[in-house]
Amino acid sequence: MTARHFIWPLFAAALFAFVPTQINAAPQVLALLETDAPTALTCDAGVCKAEFTTYCLQRERDIPDAATPYTVAEGRHLRLVLTSPNGGTRTVPAAPHLRIETARRGHTAVTLSMDAAKLSELGAIAAAIEIGGGVALAPVPVAGDPNPLTEADLALAIGPLRATGMATVDRAGGTVSTVWSLNKMINAVPPAAGKDRSQRASLWQRSLQTPLGQAAPDRVAAAKQDFDTCWNSRVVEVGAVSMRSCLQRKHDRLMWDNTVRYWKDVAAGS
Protein backbone atom coordinates (compact mmCIF):
# COMPACT_ATOMS: atom_id res chain seq x y z
CA MET A 1 0.00 0.00 0.00
CA THR A 2 1.37 3.44 -0.94
CA ALA A 3 1.58 6.29 1.56
CA ARG A 4 -1.23 8.01 -0.34
CA HIS A 5 -3.50 4.96 -0.02
CA PHE A 6 -2.72 4.72 3.68
CA ILE A 7 -3.27 8.41 4.47
CA TRP A 8 -6.63 8.82 2.67
CA PRO A 9 -8.68 6.56 4.99
CA LEU A 10 -7.25 8.40 8.00
CA PHE A 11 -8.09 11.76 6.45
CA ALA A 12 -11.61 10.61 5.55
CA ALA A 13 -12.24 9.30 9.06
CA ALA A 14 -11.08 12.59 10.55
CA LEU A 15 -13.24 14.56 8.10
CA PHE A 16 -16.42 12.62 8.84
CA ALA A 17 -15.80 12.85 12.57
CA PHE A 18 -16.58 16.56 12.25
CA VAL A 19 -19.71 16.17 10.09
CA PRO A 20 -22.70 17.09 12.32
CA THR A 21 -25.08 14.26 13.17
CA GLN A 22 -28.34 14.59 11.26
CA ILE A 23 -31.11 15.91 13.46
CA ASN A 24 -34.46 14.24 13.00
CA ALA A 25 -37.72 16.17 12.94
CA ALA A 26 -39.74 16.40 16.13
CA PRO A 27 -41.63 13.16 16.83
CA GLN A 28 -45.31 12.87 17.68
CA VAL A 29 -47.11 14.51 20.53
CA LEU A 30 -48.15 11.75 22.96
CA ALA A 31 -51.41 11.26 24.82
CA LEU A 32 -50.88 10.23 28.43
CA LEU A 33 -53.61 7.66 29.04
CA GLU A 34 -56.14 8.58 31.70
CA THR A 35 -55.85 6.30 34.75
CA ASP A 36 -58.39 4.73 37.05
CA ALA A 37 -56.41 5.37 40.25
CA PRO A 38 -53.23 7.14 41.36
CA THR A 39 -50.00 5.25 40.63
CA ALA A 40 -47.35 5.28 43.35
CA LEU A 41 -43.82 6.35 42.50
CA THR A 42 -41.10 3.93 43.63
CA CYS A 43 -38.01 5.61 45.08
CA ASP A 44 -34.54 4.14 44.62
CA ALA A 45 -31.05 5.68 44.49
CA GLY A 46 -32.44 9.19 44.95
CA VAL A 47 -35.04 8.98 42.16
CA CYS A 48 -38.77 8.30 42.42
CA LYS A 49 -40.43 7.00 39.26
CA ALA A 50 -43.08 4.88 37.58
CA GLU A 51 -44.10 3.93 34.06
CA PHE A 52 -47.27 5.22 32.41
CA THR A 53 -49.18 4.38 29.23
CA THR A 54 -49.10 6.61 26.14
CA TYR A 55 -50.18 6.61 22.51
CA CYS A 56 -49.24 8.74 19.49
CA LEU A 57 -51.52 11.58 18.40
CA GLN A 58 -49.95 12.66 15.07
CA ARG A 59 -49.68 9.85 12.55
CA GLU A 60 -47.85 12.03 10.01
CA ARG A 61 -44.90 12.47 12.36
CA ASP A 62 -42.29 9.90 13.39
CA ILE A 63 -42.74 7.67 16.40
CA PRO A 64 -40.32 8.77 19.13
CA ASP A 65 -37.11 6.87 19.76
CA ALA A 66 -36.42 5.24 23.10
CA ALA A 67 -35.50 7.61 25.95
CA THR A 68 -36.70 10.71 24.08
CA PRO A 69 -37.26 13.60 26.53
CA TYR A 70 -40.76 15.08 26.69
CA THR A 71 -42.48 17.89 28.52
CA VAL A 72 -46.07 18.45 29.62
CA ALA A 73 -48.03 20.25 26.89
CA GLU A 74 -51.46 19.96 28.51
CA GLY A 75 -51.43 19.03 32.17
CA ARG A 76 -54.37 20.56 33.97
CA HIS A 77 -55.42 17.08 35.09
CA LEU A 78 -51.95 15.72 35.84
CA ARG A 79 -51.48 15.76 39.61
CA LEU A 80 -49.10 14.64 42.33
CA VAL A 81 -50.75 13.06 45.35
CA LEU A 82 -48.34 13.70 48.22
CA THR A 83 -48.32 11.77 51.50
CA SER A 84 -47.05 13.72 54.51
CA PRO A 85 -45.19 12.19 57.50
CA ASN A 86 -48.41 12.23 59.54
CA GLY A 87 -50.22 10.17 56.89
CA GLY A 88 -52.28 12.99 55.43
CA THR A 89 -52.45 13.58 51.68
CA ARG A 90 -52.64 16.66 49.46
CA THR A 91 -52.68 17.18 45.72
CA VAL A 92 -50.52 19.58 43.69
CA PRO A 93 -49.93 20.13 39.95
CA ALA A 94 -47.40 17.53 38.80
CA ALA A 95 -45.89 19.18 35.71
CA PRO A 96 -43.39 21.49 37.50
CA HIS A 97 -41.80 18.59 39.35
CA LEU A 98 -41.46 15.82 36.74
CA ARG A 99 -38.92 14.58 34.23
CA ILE A 100 -40.38 12.65 31.31
CA GLU A 101 -38.85 10.32 28.73
CA THR A 102 -40.16 7.58 26.51
CA ALA A 103 -39.60 4.01 27.62
CA ARG A 104 -36.56 2.21 26.25
CA ARG A 105 -38.78 -0.17 24.31
CA GLY A 106 -40.76 2.46 22.40
CA HIS A 107 -43.63 4.91 22.31
CA THR A 108 -46.38 3.10 24.22
CA ALA A 109 -45.07 4.14 27.63
CA VAL A 110 -43.13 6.90 29.32
CA THR A 111 -41.26 7.08 32.60
CA LEU A 112 -42.28 9.94 34.88
CA SER A 113 -39.71 10.67 37.56
CA MET A 114 -38.71 13.20 40.19
CA ASP A 115 -35.80 13.53 42.58
CA ALA A 116 -36.37 12.15 46.06
CA ALA A 117 -34.90 15.41 47.37
CA LYS A 118 -37.76 17.29 45.67
CA LEU A 119 -40.19 15.04 47.47
CA SER A 120 -38.64 16.11 50.78
CA GLU A 121 -38.82 19.76 49.74
CA LEU A 122 -42.53 19.31 49.21
CA GLY A 123 -42.84 17.96 52.77
CA ALA A 124 -43.79 14.48 51.64
CA ILE A 125 -42.54 10.96 52.29
CA ALA A 126 -44.30 9.38 49.29
CA ALA A 127 -45.96 10.43 46.06
CA ALA A 128 -48.36 9.04 43.49
CA ILE A 129 -49.39 10.38 40.11
CA GLU A 130 -53.02 10.86 39.12
CA ILE A 131 -53.82 11.29 35.40
CA GLY A 132 -57.15 12.76 34.43
CA GLY A 133 -58.60 13.47 31.02
CA GLY A 134 -56.80 15.20 28.18
CA VAL A 135 -53.18 15.12 29.36
CA ALA A 136 -50.70 15.43 26.48
CA LEU A 137 -46.90 15.45 26.20
CA ALA A 138 -44.73 17.25 23.64
CA PRO A 139 -41.14 16.40 22.67
CA VAL A 140 -38.53 18.76 24.08
CA PRO A 141 -37.52 21.12 21.22
CA VAL A 142 -34.11 20.50 19.64
CA ALA A 143 -31.99 23.18 17.97
CA GLY A 144 -31.76 22.69 14.21
CA ASP A 145 -34.97 20.65 13.96
CA PRO A 146 -35.87 20.56 10.22
CA ASN A 147 -39.59 20.26 11.00
CA PRO A 148 -40.32 21.54 14.50
CA LEU A 149 -43.74 21.53 16.09
CA THR A 150 -45.46 24.85 15.42
CA GLU A 151 -47.96 26.48 17.75
CA ALA A 152 -50.70 25.40 15.33
CA ASP A 153 -49.42 21.79 15.33
CA LEU A 154 -49.45 21.71 19.11
CA ALA A 155 -52.86 23.36 19.42
CA LEU A 156 -54.37 20.76 17.06
CA ALA A 157 -52.71 17.87 18.91
CA ILE A 158 -53.68 18.87 22.45
CA GLY A 159 -57.13 20.08 21.37
CA PRO A 160 -59.21 18.23 18.76
CA LEU A 161 -56.85 15.27 18.36
CA ARG A 162 -56.59 14.68 22.10
CA ALA A 163 -60.38 14.93 22.40
CA THR A 164 -60.75 12.25 19.72
CA GLY A 165 -58.27 10.09 21.60
CA MET A 166 -60.27 10.42 24.80
CA ALA A 167 -63.40 9.20 23.03
CA THR A 168 -61.63 6.50 21.02
CA VAL A 169 -59.14 5.14 23.56
CA ASP A 170 -59.19 6.56 27.11
CA ARG A 171 -62.92 6.24 27.70
CA ALA A 172 -63.95 3.75 25.03
CA GLY A 173 -63.85 0.68 27.25
CA GLY A 174 -62.57 -2.37 25.43
CA THR A 175 -58.98 -3.19 26.36
CA VAL A 176 -58.30 -0.10 28.47
CA SER A 177 -59.04 -1.84 31.78
CA THR A 178 -56.61 -4.60 30.76
CA VAL A 179 -53.98 -1.98 29.97
CA TRP A 180 -54.51 -0.40 33.40
CA SER A 181 -54.06 -3.78 35.07
CA LEU A 182 -50.93 -4.59 33.09
CA ASN A 183 -49.46 -1.19 33.90
CA LYS A 184 -50.02 -1.74 37.61
CA MET A 185 -48.29 -5.13 37.44
CA ILE A 186 -45.41 -3.67 35.41
CA ASN A 187 -44.79 -1.06 38.09
CA ALA A 188 -45.07 -3.65 40.86
CA VAL A 189 -42.66 -6.21 39.37
CA PRO A 190 -38.89 -5.46 39.61
CA PRO A 191 -37.07 -5.25 36.24
CA ALA A 192 -35.08 -8.47 36.66
CA ALA A 193 -37.83 -10.59 38.21
CA GLY A 194 -38.71 -13.90 36.62
CA LYS A 195 -35.63 -16.07 36.87
CA ASP A 196 -36.25 -17.19 40.45
CA ARG A 197 -39.31 -19.45 40.43
CA SER A 198 -39.76 -18.99 44.19
CA GLN A 199 -40.76 -15.35 43.58
CA ARG A 200 -44.09 -16.18 41.94
CA ALA A 201 -46.38 -15.75 44.96
CA SER A 202 -44.60 -12.67 46.29
CA LEU A 203 -44.68 -10.91 42.92
CA TRP A 204 -48.41 -11.48 42.56
CA GLN A 205 -48.94 -10.15 46.09
CA ARG A 206 -46.95 -7.03 45.17
CA SER A 207 -49.34 -6.51 42.26
CA LEU A 208 -52.32 -6.81 44.60
CA GLN A 209 -50.82 -4.14 46.88
CA THR A 210 -51.44 -1.60 44.08
CA PRO A 211 -55.00 -0.33 43.33
CA LEU A 212 -55.41 -3.51 41.28
CA GLY A 213 -56.15 -5.25 44.58
CA GLN A 214 -59.30 -3.10 44.99
CA ALA A 215 -60.54 -3.69 41.43
CA ALA A 216 -63.61 -5.72 40.55
CA PRO A 217 -63.13 -9.51 40.96
CA ASP A 218 -63.42 -10.20 37.23
CA ARG A 219 -60.71 -7.68 36.48
CA VAL A 220 -58.41 -9.14 39.12
CA ALA A 221 -59.03 -12.60 37.66
CA ALA A 222 -58.16 -11.37 34.16
CA ALA A 223 -54.98 -9.75 35.48
CA LYS A 224 -54.04 -13.00 37.23
CA GLN A 225 -54.47 -14.85 33.94
CA ASP A 226 -52.08 -12.42 32.21
CA PHE A 227 -49.64 -12.78 35.11
CA ASP A 228 -49.79 -16.59 34.95
CA THR A 229 -49.37 -16.61 31.18
CA CYS A 230 -46.14 -14.66 31.49
CA TRP A 231 -44.95 -16.68 34.45
CA ASN A 232 -45.49 -19.95 32.58
CA SER A 233 -43.89 -18.63 29.39
CA ARG A 234 -40.89 -20.66 28.27
CA VAL A 235 -38.89 -17.53 27.41
CA VAL A 236 -39.36 -16.25 30.97
CA GLU A 237 -38.56 -19.67 32.42
CA VAL A 238 -35.20 -19.87 30.65
CA GLY A 239 -34.39 -16.22 31.42
CA ALA A 240 -34.53 -14.95 27.82
CA VAL A 241 -36.83 -12.14 28.99
CA SER A 242 -37.82 -10.97 32.43
CA MET A 243 -41.29 -11.30 33.89
CA ARG A 244 -41.68 -7.54 33.63
CA SER A 245 -40.66 -7.55 29.95
CA CYS A 246 -43.31 -10.16 29.20
CA LEU A 247 -46.00 -7.99 30.81
CA GLN A 248 -44.68 -4.96 28.92
CA ARG A 249 -44.99 -6.83 25.62
CA LYS A 250 -48.64 -7.63 26.35
CA HIS A 251 -49.26 -4.00 27.29
CA ASP A 252 -47.54 -2.70 24.16
CA ARG A 253 -49.47 -4.95 21.78
CA LEU A 254 -52.77 -3.71 23.18
CA MET A 255 -51.69 -0.07 23.00
CA TRP A 256 -50.46 -0.43 19.44
CA ASP A 257 -53.93 -1.74 18.51
CA ASN A 258 -55.51 1.22 20.33
CA THR A 259 -53.19 3.64 18.54
CA VAL A 260 -54.09 2.23 15.12
CA ARG A 261 -57.79 2.42 15.96
CA TYR A 262 -57.37 6.05 17.02
CA TRP A 263 -55.52 6.91 13.79
CA LYS A 264 -58.36 5.34 11.76
CA ASP A 265 -60.93 7.41 13.63
CA VAL A 266 -58.95 10.60 13.02
CA ALA A 267 -58.64 9.77 9.30
CA ALA A 268 -62.36 9.03 9.04
CA GLY A 269 -63.19 12.39 10.56
CA SER A 270 -60.76 14.42 8.46
What is the tens place of the pLDDT at every residue in 152-206? 999 999 999 999 999 999 999 999 999 999 999 999 999 877 667 788 899 999 9
> How is residue 198 annotated by DSSP?
G
- 8 Å CB contact between 42 and 14: no
Nearest to 260 by CA among 67, 17, 120, 56: 56
CA distance 215 to 49: 23
- 8 Å CB contact between 108 and 63: no
What is residue 130's predicted lDDT score, i.e. its pLDDT? 98
- pTM equals 0.89
User: Would you place residue 115 in the very low, low, confident or very high pLDDT band (cuts 50, 70, 90)?
Assistant: very high
CA distance 184 to 178: 10
* Residue 205 Cα distances to 52, 208, 241, angstroms: 21, 5, 21
CA distance 107 to 28: 9
Count CB atoms within 10 A of the CB of residue 14.
Answer: 9
More confident residue, 103 or 238: 103
* Residue 66 Cα distances to 14, 27, 54, 133, 167, angstroms: 29, 11, 13, 25, 27
209-249 tens-digit pLDDT: 999 999 999 999 999 999 999 999 999 888 889 999 999 99
Phi, psi of 100 (to 5 degrees): -135, 130
Q: What is the average pLDDT score of the chain?
A: 90
Report whether pLDDT(16) > 70.
Answer: no
CA distance 28 to 20: 24
Report whether pLDDT(11) > 50.
Answer: no
> Which sequence spans correspond to the domains of the chain?
30-146, 176-269
What is residue 105's predicted lDDT score, i.e. its pLDDT? 84
